[in-house]
Amino acid sequence: MDKKPRFPFLKLHYVAIREVLNTLDPIDYINFSKTSKSCRHLSTIKKPYKVKLVFAEFPLISFRNENPIEYIVRWTENREEDGTREFWEYESFDNLYKYSENSLDALKEFKEFYLYVKSLMSVEIDEVAWFMSDFNELCGKDVDWLRSNAPEFPTLFVHGFRQLSIELQYILDNVKVTNILEIYVSLSLFEYNEKPLPLRIPDTIEELRIVYGSWITLDFIMNLKLRRLAFRDTYLTSQEMNVFCKSWIEMKSHHSLERFEINVSNREDFIAIGLGDIPYRMGPLRPGPYPSYVPVQGSFEVTRDDGLTASICTYLFVSGFTVIMYTRLPDLN
């Protein structure tokens, strides 16, 4: 059987070639650029994408723009998956798998791949996720690599189980996050005689969320000057919550606060003690930020000394009760 002649794509007019390249998704565009020197020379279209980097045992990089599909390159230890593409319809993920013999090689290839993409396309790092438990020890050189190749980025997620606070602090000290920092890390009780040191939080961010917050103290919270705060698994008392609320009302702290969220062990105690000597009026039932937050009765409306009103709401959550204090709802001020 005679082979069909190959279509002379590279002999097309440059304008026609650019039109074809414009239709390619980022994965196909990158693969095309690697086909030959001629293809790399033609790949001059700076396709704009937001990029997410995930540092894990087998890392990944994802590409997003106004297209609802997220394109993901995933490193894998399964040789049979190498070069395959798989579409996850529920999440709208289009995945390309790359085989690596071990996690060290995978991380090296991941970094080289990002640098190549950076030179090829108009990419901007939008998110970084770091899974500390996937590394036997802190990869300081990887943190340094991130700092040198991404001087700043909007969002950082850090995950880990029983990690040393000094190693988590190294990450926080050596990258610049400009908007959201979310820490899902349980700290080791071994290093500081069952009392982990409070973390130093960068003042460049707007929003902080900490889960596994057993180490969080009132002093730690009072020293933060961020717009949005959320804490879970803390041991703050209703008396301490009273101090926080009064400090905001009297304009002694948290002047720019828009939202404050924290777990409470007992809703009745919070109302009786946390709000006990604070003037308030009952407000409407306010929906939670996510479906898993079930509102309990109405809200407690309190007014700051400058006239700004906040709505304090209680929610039934998976692990107990949560209090959220809103100061920027449309119907409040």
pLDDT per residue as tens digits for the range 293-318: 999 989 999 999 999 999 999 999 88
Check whether residue 198 and residue 56 sit in a common domain.
yes
Last residue of a domain, one of 215, 231, 259: 215
What is the total count of domains within the chain? Answer: 2
User: pTM above the 0.75 mark?
Assistant: yes
Domain's final residue, options 196, 215, 234: 215
Q: Which domain holds residue 6?
A: 1-45
Asked whether residue 34 falls in the same domain as residue 76, the answer is: no
Residues 18 and 152 in one domain: no
- Does residue 279 sit within a domain? no
Is 169 among the domain residues? yes
Question: Has residue 163 got a pLDDT over 80?
Answer: yes
Task: Report residue 5: phi and psi, to 5°.
Answer: -65, 145
In a domain, 297, yes or no: no
Domain identity same for 7 and 38: yes
Give pLDDT tens digits for 183-230: 999 988 655 555 666 899 999 999 999 999 999 999 999 999 999 999
Do both 15 and 51 map to the same domain?
A: no
* Same-domain status, 39 and 57: no
Residue 320 lies in a domain: no
Domain boundary among 165, 197, 215: 215
| Greater model confidence, 272 or 140 | 272
Q: Is the Cβ–Cβ distance between 176 and 149 less than 8 Å?
A: no
